[in-house]
Amino acid sequence: DTGVSQDPRHKITKRGQNVTFRCDPISEHNRLYWYRQTLGQGPEFLTYFQNEAQLEKSRLLSDRFSAERPKGSFSTLEIQRTEQGDSAMYLCASSLAFGEPAEKLFFGSGTQLSVL
């Protein structure tokens, strides 16, 4: 098992453009989370899935953000009409809903987004 992988590692875009990030969780994990981290802060929860169902979205997540996990495996996070305030590290994590504590999250290395 190679762990949680995220693609791309870095993304530079111009304000107003759309971007999409991909996350491949650990294969047997049924929960998948998206977090956002800015400099000097801890990760902030954005949304999570159990299998293909999106069960919770943070108030931080504006209508420009959308996440999907179509077959309960990989997930995508899309940001439309990017703004400079969207510049951050976007972290994906996965976990098991049962057996292990669900809070024991396994994180990917993240996608660093820079909006110019």
Partner 1 sequence: DQQVKQNSPSLSVQEGRISILNCDYTNSMFDYFLWYKKYPAEGPTFLISISSIKDKNEDGRFTVFLNKSAKHLSLHIVPSQPGDSAVYFCAASARGSSNTGKLIFGQGTTLQVKP
Q: Which residues bind partner 1 (CB under 8 A)?
A: 4, 31, 33, 40-45, 48, 55-56, 91, 93, 95, 97, 101-110
Q: Which CB sits closer to partner 1, 91 or 113?
A: 91
What is the smallest separation between the CB atom of 81 and partner 1, expressed in angstroms?
A: 27
Residue corresponding to tokens 């400099």: 39
What is the smallest separation between the CB atom of 28 and partner 1, expressed in angstroms?
A: 15
Give the angle subtended at the CA of 112 by the CAs of 108 and 116, to the nearest 5°.
Answer: 165
What is the smallest separation between the CB atom of 7 and partner 1, expressed in angstroms?
A: 14
Under a CB-based contact definition with an 8 Å cutoff, are residues 112 and 7 in contact? no
